[in-house]
Structure 1
Amino acid sequence: MPVSPNLYEGLEAPLPQGRFSGRTQFQQRVRDAFATAAREGWREITISDANFHDWPLGERAVADALQAWSRTGRRFNVLARSYDEVVRRHARFVSWRRTWDHIVTCRACAAADPLDIPSAIWSPGWTLQRWDPERCTGISGSEPERRVLLGEALCGWLRNKSAPGFPASTLGL
């Protein structure tokens, strides 16, 4: 069986719409979102969570999708309360972030209540939002009003409630 030169060929199912429940469904929707972003060339992605501890960011499939998605002119925004779990659990993501620092903006809101920070993915065409991160329940979809409301909420956090965080490298003297 020949290997396709396009890693994402055949994965053309539309992104899931509607409610999800459970960590397995949540993580699969995250994987699917990044694979779709790579395949469709999304211009911008924003991800947000208090600590990303249960996101599949360290998985090879996610790292490969992000690598395929990355190019100049793209924007990747990340919002977290703390990046300690990202560094501890997601080495591939940390390496990708370091390589693509010029398109990645990371913001931190250390003083925020972890339950107040949205757990979400936003793109111009599709969103995912966990309402209950502990039970991994939420909704995803491409409805315009959902995208606008989540986009505005995340912009408010990024602009008004956060500061630069998670530098690509730590420079010392």
Structure 2
Amino acid sequence: MSSGAPRALLLIGAVGVGKTTTTDAIADELEARSIPGAALDLDWLRRAWPAPADDRFNSRLERAALHAVSAVHREAGAQVLVAAGVIEERAERDGYRTAFGCPLTVVRLTAPRALVRSRLHRRHEGEPDNLAWHLDRFDELTDILDAAEVEDVTVPVGPDPRSSAQAVLRAVGI
């Protein structure tokens, strides 16, 4: 990738599909290719409480924080901003593009249901309430994302994070 205007990749998908892990692997791959960038986890940007009653996932706070953080990274020379998060409605894309401050490509990661359920069981071992919520949320969010068609491209996760990262970068032309 030659130097030029920055661009953003937003990895979306249901809980447990590997968004954060793949974002980290993309960051490693971009660094190995000497492409300046930044990796962001939107969960951390919106983690505040209590959430407003009309914004249960703190999406407005997330976009405001993303706007500030992205500006800092672009100013520092980032060519590729990559983030893990969720957009449930196509109408939300413009808000995220504005928050990133550069052209946005939305990449939906998918994984077999059995694989994700296995990951969630490991992740929430000993937390039956959290496990139940995440299992339900996986199914709910998968249905929402299927209907919303928010993504520009869909990439199935690979057998390991590096192969998933490489597949995403190929799919978006990096």
| TM-score normalised according to structure 1 size | 0.31
TM score, norm. by length of structure 2:
0.31
Structure with greater helix percent = 2
Higher strand share: 1
Whose RCO is larger (CA < 8 A, sep 6+)?
A: 2
